Amino acid sequence: MSKTEIATLGEFGLIKHLTKDIKPVQPSTQKGVGDDAAVMHYADKRTLVTTDLLLEGIHFNLEYVPLKHLGYKAAVVNFSDIYAMNGTPTQITVSLGISKRFSIEDLEELYAGIRLACEKYNVDLVGGDTSASMTGLTISITCLGTAYDSDIVYRNGAKVNDLICVTGNLGTAYMGLQLLERERIVMNANENATPAFEGREYLLERQLKPEARRDIIEQLHKAGIKPTAMMDISDGLSSELMHICTQSNVGCSIYEDKLPIDYQAAALAEEMNLNIVTCALNGGEDYELLFTCNLEDYEKLIPLEDVYLIGHITKSEHGVNLIGRNGEELSLQAQGWNAFKK
C-alpha cells in the first residue's frame, strides 16, 4: 500500500486532517481544536493536570508495538494519573515529534488509538502540536481532569494502621514485555520463525493495551470509601510504596502471599527463569491502583471486585518491608523503572 508523505499536507493541514470530525462530549469544553488555545470551564471543581512524554527507543519499540495500540496506551496512562488522584479525566492535548519515515497513514493509525481511548473514557481531544523530529517518534500528552476539593487524594495522607490495597494483578505487563522482547530476538535471528504468543494473549494486552481503573474509582465512591493516599502503579509496586511512605512519613508491611499474581504471568516467569514476586514488585506499567484507607473501612472493602488487601501502614522507623511466606521480613528497595538509569 502506498504511503502519503506528511509534507503533502503541511503542519496545519496535518492537524486538521487528524482532528477532523472531533466533537466534544464534556460540558467543560467550551472550545476545542481550531484556535490558538482551547477553552475550558470547570465551575466549582478543582483542575487536575498531568503530562506524559514517550520517546521511541526508550518507552516503546515499534518493531512490535502497533501504532494504534501505542496511541491508545499513550492516552490511557494519562487518564490513569487523574484517576489516581480520585478525579475524572476530561480533556487531553497531543503533541508529536515526527521523523520523515512516518506517513500520514501511520499517524492516522496512531490517532485512531488516541481517539478510541478518548471515546471509551469520555475525554475530549482539544489541541496539541506537531513538529519534525530527527530521532524517530516523540509523543507528549497533557491530560486535564476535575475533582471536588474534598474528593482529591494525594500521596501524603497515609496514617499508621491504614490498610494497603492494590487492584487487578501485578507483574503481568512486565511479563508481556519480556515475551515481546524474547520473540523479537527470535524473529530477528530467523525470518521464518513465528512468534509464540498462543495462550498468552492476556500478557500482550496488559503490555500493549492497558486500561485505567475508572471502575475502581466508581466502586470506591459507591462504597463511601475515600482513600487516605493513592497512586497508580506505573514504575512498580515497590517504587510506588516508597513514594507514599516517604511523602506520608510512615513505613509499611506488605505480605508476599497476598500479592495478586496472574497464572499466565507466573507460568511464563517460571519458563524464563524469573522470580514472579520480584516481577510483581518491580515490573511496572500495570497501571493498577495502589491505595491506603482507614482500618474502619475494612468491611466496606470486602465486597469490592478486583481489590486486594496486601498489608498495612506502620511507623516510619519500621521501614518499607515485605513479609515472606515463611514470616521472614525483607526490606523493599525501589527497583522499578528509572528513566535516567543506564
| One domain for residues 25 and 103 | yes
Coil, strand, or helix at residue 138? strand
- Across the range 44-65, mean pLDDT stands at 95
| One domain for residues 116 and 236 | no
Q: Taking the mean position of all CA atoms in its chain, how far away is CA 166?
A: 14
Hey, which residues does 145 pair with through a beta bridge?
48, 89
* Distance, CA of 44 to CA of 47 (rounded, Å): 10
**Residue 214: pLDDT above 80?**
yes
User: What local confidence, expressed as pLDDT, does residue 22 receive?
Assistant: 73
* Distance, CA of 242 to CA of 250 (rounded, Å): 10
CATH of the domain at 181: 3.90.650.10
- Find the helix or strand (DSSP H, E) in which 49 lies: strand 46-55
| One domain for residues 217 and 113 | no
User: What local confidence, expressed as pLDDT, does residue 72 receive?
Assistant: 98
**Residue 134: pLDDT above 90?**
no
| One domain for residues 139 and 174 | no
| One domain for residues 126 and 195 | no
The one-letter amino acid at 152: I
User: What local confidence, expressed as pLDDT, does residue 300 receive?
Assistant: 98
Percent share of the chain, pLDDT over 70: 94
**Residue 34: pLDDT above 80?**
no
User: What local confidence, expressed as pLDDT, does residue 87 receive?
Assistant: 98
Does some domain include residue 247?
A: yes
Coil, strand, or helix at residue 282? helix
Does some domain include residue 157?
A: no
The CA-based angle 336-341-342, given to 5 degrees, is 130
Does some domain include residue 57?
A: yes
Does some domain include residue 69?
A: yes
| One domain for residues 171 and 310 | yes
Q: Taking the mean position of all CA atoms in its chain, how far away is CA 42?
A: 25
> Which residue carries 535471528 as its cell?
189
| One domain for residues 51 and 175 | no
CB-side exposure of 237: number of CA atoms within 13 Å?
Answer: 35
Does some domain include residue 37?
A: yes
* Distance, CA of 326 to CA of 342 (rounded, Å): 35
**DSSP string covering 79-122:** HHHHHTTT-EEEEEEEEEEE-TT-BHHHHHHHHHHHHHHHHHHT
Please name the residue ranges forming H helices in the chain.
Answer: 10-19, 67-83, 104-121, 172-189, 201-208, 214-223, 237-248, 263-271, 276-282, 298-301
Does some domain include residue 342?
A: no
Report yes or no: 330 and 322 within 8 Å, Cβ to Cβ. Answer: yes
- Across the range 161-188, mean pLDDT stands at 96
User: What local confidence, expressed as pLDDT, does residue 38 receive?
Assistant: 83
Residue where a domain terminates, one of 115, 147, 179: 147
Can you read off the three cell numbers belonging to residue 11?
503542519
User: What local confidence, expressed as pLDDT, does residue 132 receive?
Assistant: 87
Burial category of 1 from C-beta neighbours within 10 Å (exposed 0-12, middle 13-18, buried 19 and up): exposed
* Distance, CA of 104 to CA of 3 (rounded, Å): 7
Q: Which residues of 110-143 are buried (b: 16+ CB within 10 A; e: fewer)?
A: bbebbbbbbeebebbbbbbebeebeebbbbbbbb
| One domain for residues 184 and 107 | no
| One domain for residues 255 and 309 | yes
| One domain for residues 138 and 178 | no
Q: Which residues of 291-317 are buried (b: 16+ CB within 10 A; e: fewer)?
A: bbbeeebeebbeebeebbbbbbbbeee
Report yes or no: 75 and 118 within 8 Å, Cβ to Cβ. Answer: yes
Report yes or no: 118 and 18 within 8 Å, Cβ to Cβ. Answer: no
Does some domain include residue 181?
A: yes
Task: Give how many domains the chain has, as a whole number.
Answer: 2
| One domain for residues 137 and 189 | no
Residue where a domain terminates, one of 87, 112, 147: 147
| One domain for residues 245 and 171 | yes
Query: Domain range for residue 241?
Result: 163-331
Can you read off the three cell numbers belonging to residue 202?
492476556
* Distance, CA of 182 to CA of 209 (rounded, Å): 19
CATH of the domain at 91: 3.30.1330.10
Does some domain include residue 337?
A: no
User: What local confidence, expressed as pLDDT, does residue 340 receive?
Assistant: 41
pTM: 0.92
* pLDDT confidence band for 193 (50 / 70 / 90): confident
User: What local confidence, expressed as pLDDT, does residue 23 receive?
Assistant: 83
- Name which of 50-54, 98-102, 231-235, 253-257 the model is least confident about: 98-102
Tens digit of pLDDT for each residue in 82-101?
999 999 999 999 999 999 89
Residue where a domain terminates, one of 119, 147, 175: 147
